[in-house]
Each structure stands twice: as structure tokens, then as C-alpha cells.
Chains A and B, each alone.
Chain A
């Protein structure tokens, strides 16, 4: 599975959009981009995933560049409860699926009042 690079930390004002970048320049055609988050000492929680197209759900939006080498997770109206570590993960869910989900260091998002 391709490696990802994320900034170690970011701040965001409450009520504003939080844009979390992720670089995955070696991503291959069968690899999906996943985002999970971990709120203080809890188990990680799935947020959203995508392959090529932009995706939106009730939690967030995922924007993937046309060349798929980077993506951005958008929390449209960040609240204090969105303060967490956000992990961008690239994973092959096709024939190359090993069953592993590998976490990197993630981005610590601090939402401030």
C-alpha cells in the first residue's frame, strides 16, 4: 500500500471549514484513499473514503486531485468535538488486498473557540 504524508498539526477556528491535506504520490490504480479519526484515546473512527471521484457524506467531504496524488479532507463547519488526530490511509481493496490497514502519524487538528 502506498505511503501518505500529512502535516503533523493544524489549527482551525470553530465554525470554519477545516481542510486537511494528504499527499500520496505513489498511489496505484486499485488503491482507495481512506480517512479515519481518533478522538482522544478512543479507537479510530471511519470518516470517508474515495477512489477517483470527490465524495461527501454527513461528516465530511473528500476531494481527490485528478492525478490522485493528493487529497483533502474537508470538515465544513468544524466544532470543538472535531478536535482529533486525522489519519489518511491508502489501501488496495482489490486483488492486492492484504487485509491490513496501516496508520501513519496523522494530523492533529485543534479546533479553537
Chain B
């Protein structure tokens, strides 16, 4: 099925652990983004990519790393998890220059204890 696939759907980490949230899309979209959403808040942009090999920081990049080695995949790495990173993480993709075409994944619910 075409779309954005995020794994895992749920994750509990201990403070200081590292992990990678996976995001994959099969629509050949150039743009991919990672957002976090805290309870009662809007989505905040963490990192984004305009194509393979190109990434840039969003509004809240600290504590996260990304890479884009292929068009399809855009993993988000938490280097040393902190309770403040407890959130719901959404990945999105779109064609270049199409703000109307963003497709979002179903989210990863992360709890850091």
C-alpha cells in the first residue's frame, strides 16, 4: 500500500538509551520531514530533507540526528533519550513544492522513563 510507514508504533526507553525511529515512503517523494507533538500542542518540525543526501534542521533539532541515504527512507535517531523527548513522532513526505501533498505516517508514541 502506498503511503508513509513508521515503525515502531509504540516504544518505551530508559533515560540515556539510544534508538532509531524508522520512516519509509513508497511514493517517490522528494521531501521528508520529522515532527514531534507533545500533549495539547501543535506539531513541531525536528528535521527535514529535500532529497537524498540533503538534510536540514527544523524548529527543535537538539537531541536528534537524521540521514537520508535513499529517497525512500528517513530515519530519526535519538542519541541519548531524555524524559523531555517523550512525545508522539510523525514522519511526513511530499512532492517538491506541493504543500498540499503532504502524507503523514500514523505516528510513533515514545515514552522515556
Q: Which residues from chain A sit less than 8 Å from chain B, CB to CB?
A: 32, 34, 36, 38, 41-46, 48-49, 85, 87, 89, 91, 93-94, 97, 99-106
A103 surroundings in chain B (CB, below 8 A)? 35, 42-45
19 contacts between A and B (CB under 8 A): A34-B99, A36-B102, A42-B106, A44-B92, A44-B102, A45-B104, A93-B98, A94-B97, A97-B97, A99-B49, A100-B45, A100-B48, A101-B33, A101-B94, A101-B99, A102-B45, A102-B59, A103-B45, A106-B42
Q: Mark B39-53, 1 if CB is under 8 A from A, else 0.
A: 001111100111000
Name the CB-closest residue of A to B49.
A99
- Shortest C-beta distance, B91 to chain A (Å), equals 9
Name the CB-closest residue of A to B32.
A99
Q: Does B61 lie at the interface of the complex (its beta carbon under 8 Å from any beta carbon of A)? A: no
Q: Are A93 and B99 in contact (CB under 8 A)?
A: yes
| A contacts with B: majority SS | loop
From B44, B50, B94, B105, give the contact of A43 (CB < 8 A). B105
Tell me the bound Cα distance from A89 to B4 in angstroms: 21
Q: Are B97 and A44 in contact (CB under 8 A)?
A: no
Tell me the bound Cα distance from A44 to B98 in angstroms: 15
**A44, A89, A91, A93, most chain B CB atoms within 10 A:** A44
Q: Does B100 lie at the interface of the complex (its beta carbon under 8 Å from any beta carbon of A)? A: yes
From B50, B88, B92, give the contact of A101 (CB < 8 A). B92
Q: Does B74 lie at the interface of the complex (its beta carbon under 8 Å from any beta carbon of A)? A: no
A49 surroundings in chain B (CB, below 8 A)? 99-100
A44 surroundings in chain B (CB, below 8 A)? 43, 90, 92, 102, 104
B49 surroundings in chain A (CB, below 8 A)? 99
Tell me the bound Cα distance from A20 to B8 in angstroms: 35
Known contacts A44-B90, A85-B42, A103-B44; 10 further A-B pairs (Cβ under 8 A) = A38-B43, A42-B107, A43-B104, A46-B101, A87-B42, A101-B33, A101-B45, A101-B94, A102-B59, A103-B43
Name the CB-closest residue of A to B107.
A43
Q: Are B59 and A101 in contact (CB under 8 A)?
A: no
A100 surroundings in chain B (CB, below 8 A)? 33, 45, 48, 58
